[in-house]
Amino acid sequence: MKIDSRTAITITASLVIGFVGDVIIYSLSQSKGKKFSIHIPRGGDLAKLLVLGFATGLVLDIAVKQVQVAVMTEEEKKLQKLVAQENELILKGERRGKNPQKVLWA
């Protein structure tokens, strides 16, 4: 599975924001009416928080991509497909030493 930079950023942000929020909630529950102090979950609780944050990040990324595709015009979708095809050719080395000159619209 190829993860692009936007997906990595979305997942990381989700992990960080979710973790901070969950630590605050976890700390409140551990304080049990006493003075508030930060409690970092350990073991299974920590693993659950990280897995939940990762899964939430993936869901958010998928949702954002779906919205982006839904609002694209047909021209944008066709252009995105052409750019992806050219990118594959670049990665295969078939465009080595060549420079793009122009985009033609028919």
Residue 79 lies in a domain: no
Per-residue model confidence (pLDDT) at position 2 = 63
pLDDT tens-digit readout, 10-22: 878 888 888 888 8
Judged by DSSP in three states, 43 sits in coil
Residue 52 lies in a domain: yes
Whether the Cβ atoms of residue 22 and residue 30 lie closer than 8 Å to each other: no
Residue 86 lies in a domain: no
Residue 97 lies in a domain: no
Domain count for the chain: 1
Q: What is the mean pLDDT of residues 64-79?
A: 88
Residue 105 lies in a domain: no
Q: Average per-residue pLDDT in the chain? A: 84
Per-residue model confidence (pLDDT) at position 73 = 92
Residue 82 lies in a domain: no
Residue 51 lies in a domain: yes
**17 closest CA partner among 40, 41, 49:** 49
Per-residue model confidence (pLDDT) at position 74 = 92
pLDDT tens-digit readout, 79-96: 989 999 988 998 898 888
Residue 47 lies in a domain: yes
**Segments forming the whole domain that contains residue 30:** 5-71
